[in-house]
């Protein structure tokens, strides 16, 4: 049985229609007390993000990750595996902090990072690829080709959608199976598009289905099928960039949030927000 901690390591402020869309950036610590696994490794320090992408925010980088792990009494060397849901810059940076861990990625994701769908070009960064390729094989880098089981109770589904090598860990806890869906529907609105608890713009005609996200490598139908496969194989989904996700599972446990309150993505960044770690 595993416990899952959602580590909020920073935020991105993404300009969208004259406003700033706030995306919290999460990394997940999955632990059974003996094995400590990270799902995703987050983004670089916000200063580097600003230089690379002209996007503001706070946090990120080694300091943020170290600080969050320390809250759980862990150091980077305690992490055995880093499972990357995909290789976009806000999910797969900082792997150099874990030289002794095994980084686990789909083979198809590595190839896509080298030759991305054109609209994905800004999201893959050379230094992230270079770090992965510099790792000792097979101990430092484990390439997968489809679904697999990392450990008993830690299953990974290969679900091409947002990227060709997208993979979703499904983790068994005392309450049930939590799917860490990352950017396969990175907000609850994509999973419950007709439900007023999930979105302030419920779309009635999507009542029996899901909504695909805007950044895709596959067709809308393939994306929806991927979401269906995750739902068929899990009890709750945990999206990557929603403010309302459970921060500790199974203590916090919900399939859908109570309301759109707490969804801060269109609120103004606050002066009280941290600037860095
Ligand atoms: Zn992404």
- Whole-number Å distance, alpha carbon 66 to ligand 1 midpoint, is 22
Nearest to 239 by CA among 256, 217, 222, 219: 256
User: For residue range 1-28, what is the model confidence (pLDDT) as tens digits?
Assistant: 999 999 999 999 998 888 888 999 999 9
- Whole-number Å distance, alpha carbon 275 to ligand 1 midpoint, is 23
Homologous superfamily in CATH for domain 3-249: Ribonuclease Z/Hydroxyacylglutathione hydrolase-like (3.60.15.10)
DSSP state letter for 138: T
**Domain boundaries along the sequence of the chain:** 3-249
CB count, 10 Å around CB of 205? 8
Q: What pLDDT shows up at residue 231?
A: 98
Backbone angles phi, psi at 39, to 5 degrees: -105, 115
List of E strands, 64-211? 81-83, 102-106, 141-144, 148-151, 154-158, 167-172, 177-182
Q: Is the Cβ–Cβ distance between 25 and 49 less than 8 Å? A: no
Lowest-pLDDT range of 54-68, 125-139, 231-245, 253-267 = 253-267
Burial of 14 (0-12, 13-18, 19+ CB in 10 A): middle
Contacts of 16 (CB under 8 A, 6+ apart): none
User: For residue range 137-159, what is the model confidence (pLDDT) as tens digits?
Assistant: 999 999 999 999 999 999 999 99
- Whole-number Å distance, alpha carbon 193 to ligand 1 midpoint, is 20
**Run of H or E including 140:** none
- Whole-number Å distance, alpha carbon 163 to ligand 1 midpoint, is 8
Nearest to 223 by CA among 274, 154, 267, 168: 168
Q: What pLDDT shows up at residue 48?
A: 96
Residues within 5 Å of ion ligand 1 by Cβ? 88, 183
Token pair, residue 56, equals: 């503001």
Q: What is the mean pLDDT of the chain?
A: 95
């Amino acid at each position: 049985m595993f416990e899952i901690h959602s580590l909020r390591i920073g935020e991105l402020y993404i300009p969208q229609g004259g406003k700033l869309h706030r995306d919290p950036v999460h990394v997940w610590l999955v632990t059974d007390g003996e094995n400590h696994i990270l799902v995703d490794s987050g983004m670089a320090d916000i200063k580097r993000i600003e230089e690379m992408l002209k996007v503001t925010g706070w946090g990120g980088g080694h300091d943020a990750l170290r600080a969050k792990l320390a809250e759980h009494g862990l150091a980077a060397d305690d992490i055995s595996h880093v499972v990357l849901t995909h290789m976009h810059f806000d999910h797969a940076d900082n792997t150099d902090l874990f030289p002794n861990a095994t980084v686990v990625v789909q083979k198809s994701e590595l190839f896509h990072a080298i030759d991305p769908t054109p609209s994905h070009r800004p999201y893959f960064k050379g230094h992230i690829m270079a770090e992965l390729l510099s790792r000792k094989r097979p101990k430092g880098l484990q390439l997968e080709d489809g679904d697999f089981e990392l450990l008993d109770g830690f299953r990974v589904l290969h679900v091409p959608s947002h990227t060709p090598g997208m993979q979703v860990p499904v983790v068994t806890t005392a309450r049930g199976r939590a799917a860490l869906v990352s950017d396969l529907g990175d907000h609850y609105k994509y999973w419950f598009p007709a439900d007023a608890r999930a979105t302030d713009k419920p779309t009635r005609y999507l009542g029996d289905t899901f909504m695909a996200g805007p950044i895709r490598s596959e067709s809308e139908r393939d994306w929806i099928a991927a979401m269906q496969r995750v739902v068929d194989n899990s009890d709750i989904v945990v999206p990557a960039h929603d403010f309302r996700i459970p921060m500790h599972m199974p203590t916090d446990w919900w399939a859908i949030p109570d309301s759109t309150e707490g969804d801060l993505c269109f609120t103004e960044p606050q002066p009280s927000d941290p600037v860095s770690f």
